[in-house]
């Protein structure tokens, strides 16, 4: 498993990192580091990325596979839970390690797509006549080279029923330089619609560099959405969530989902009560145009879609 994690973890790794999920070491990018205010012990960027001793706490109800991903593993690399769309996991690697991530215990070692597994995954997707959308996920699919991505995207473009390609990625805000010409060209060449769902939790994650990355993506005719997770200490605040929606839209990105935290072991200190989440959404509704209010949802194993909470 360690082989699929980039070997450039940031320098500060407190002893707490040496806990059960040793692969989920602290990992950030230079841009994220530059956004962290080290003088602020409650910094909302630091909270998302710095290893915290509270991760070692065992809290009842916070488990290793909270969303039933292991059960939804159709063939290696494919997570098929919902009708008409499936996740294609090309890599377990990410540019950053978000400490609340529900996949922090996921056995990615089994998920690295070699040529044979990719053929098997494509055959699975091709065999389902309802499969109109494939979601490249991970890990973060944009850590792959454009050449590697192009090889997959070209194969997806040939799938008979596919109308949309979706990419879930944190790259546009943590490594915006990755949104380069080669990537934009390959996305622009896709015959169907392309949707990129970014992942931004706090307005301070947005700046001139993310604006440029999103501008390039829009130029490549990519529809831009955002998913956030409601996180204690980060964005459990009506003003912060309002500014997040406003700032995203200024960069051409529509809020899509606000997720209730998946109860994954090690992330209990980020938990926000569902009722509090509902109040936040109501407050946003009273302040913002409807299109800037994200859908508040939770993922429940076995359900046919994300479950609306708002």
Q: Which residues bind ligand SF4 (CB under 6 A)?
A: 94, 96-98, 101, 103, 138-140, 170, 199
Question: Where on the phi/psi map is residue 29: left (φ > 0), alpha (ψ -120 to 50), or beta?
Answer: beta
Query: Shortest gap between Cβ of 71 and ligand PLP (angstroms)?
Result: 11
Rounded Cα distance between 165 and 217, Å, is 14
- Which helix (H) or strand (E) covers residue 212, if one does? helix 208-219
Nearer to ligand SF4, 170 or 216 (CB): 170
The sign of the torsion formed by the CA atoms of 157, 78, 1, 96 equals positive
Q: Is the CB of residue 1 less than 8 Å from the CB of residue 109?
A: yes
Size of the site for ligand PLP (CB under 6 A): 9
Q: Give whichever of 86 and 96 is closer to ligand SF4, judged by the CB atom.
A: 96
Please, what is the minimum distance in Å from the beta carbon of residue 281 to ligand PLP?
A: 17
Structure tokens at 91: 């890599």
Strands 164-168 and 295-298, by their bridges, are unpaired
Output 148 or 295, the one with its CB closest to ligand PLP: 295
Residue 133: CB minimum distance to ligand PLP, A: 7
- Site residues (CB under 6 A) for ligand PLP, limited to 118-157: 135
Q: Shortest Cβ distance from residue 198 to ligand SF4 (Å)?
A: 10
Given the complex with ligand SF4, which of 175 and 251 has the nearer CB atom? 175
Chain position whose Cβ is nearest to ligand PLP: 81
Asked if residue 307 binds ligand PLP (CB under 6 A), the reply is: no
CB 237 within 8 A of CB 245: no
Contacts of 121 (CB under 8 A, 6+ apart): 75, 76, 77, 78, 88, 113
Q: Shortest distance, CB of residue 163 to ligand PLP, whole angstroms? A: 13
Residues in contact with 36: Cβ distance below 8 Å, sequence separation at least 6, in sequence order? 28, 43, 45, 46, 49, 50
Residue 142 has what DSSP assignment? G
Residue 81 makes contact with ligand PLP by CB under 6 A? yes
Picked from ligand PLP, ligand SF4, none, the partner binding residue 228 (CB below 5 to 8 A depending on kind) is: none
- 85 is in the binding site of which of ligand PLP, ligand SF4, none (Cβ under 5 to 8 A by kind)? ligand PLP
The whole-angstrom separation of Cα 262 and Cα 280 is: 18
Residues in contact with ligand PLP by the rule CB under 6 A? 72, 79, 81-82, 85, 87, 135, 305-306
């Amino acid at each position: 498993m360690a082989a699929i994690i980039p070997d450039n973890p940031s320098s500060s790794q407190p002893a707490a990192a040496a806990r059960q999920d040793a692969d989920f070491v602290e990992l950030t990018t230079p841009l994220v580091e530059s956004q962290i205010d080290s003088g602020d012990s409650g910094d909302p960027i630091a909270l998302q990325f710095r290893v915290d001793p509270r991760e070692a706490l065992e809290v009842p109800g916070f488990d290793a596979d909270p969303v039933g991903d292991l059960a939804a593993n159709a063939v290696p690399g494919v997570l098929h839970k919902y009708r008409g769309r499936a996740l294609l996991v090309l890599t377990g690697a990410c540019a950053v390690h978000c400490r609340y991530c529900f996949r922090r215990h996921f056995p990615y070692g089994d998920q690295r797509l070699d040529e044979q597994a990719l053929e098997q995954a494509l055959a699975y997707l091709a065999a389902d006549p309802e499969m109109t959308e494939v979601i490249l996920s991970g890990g973060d699919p944009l850590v792959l080279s454009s050449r590697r991505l192009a090889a997959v995207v070209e194969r997806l473009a040939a799938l008979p029923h596919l109308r949309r390609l979706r990419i879930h990625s944190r790259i546009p805000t943590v490594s915006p330089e990755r949104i380069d010409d080669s990537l934009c060209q390959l996305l622009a060449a896709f015959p169907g619609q392309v949707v990129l769902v970014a992942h931004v939790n706090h307005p301070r994650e947005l700046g001139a560099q993310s604006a440029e990355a999103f501008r390039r993506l829009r130029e490549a005719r990519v529809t831009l959405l955002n998913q956030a997770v409601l996180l204690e200490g980060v964005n459990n605040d009506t003003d912060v969530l309002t500014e997040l929606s406003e700032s995203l839209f200024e960069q051409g990105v529509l809020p899509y989902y606000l997720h209730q935290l998946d109860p994954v072991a090690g992330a209990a200190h980020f938990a926000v009560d569902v009722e509090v989440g509902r109040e936040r959404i109501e407050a946003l509704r009273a302040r913002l145009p409807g299109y800037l209010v994200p859908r508040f949802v939770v993922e429940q194993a076995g359900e046919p879609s994300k479950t609306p909470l708002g």
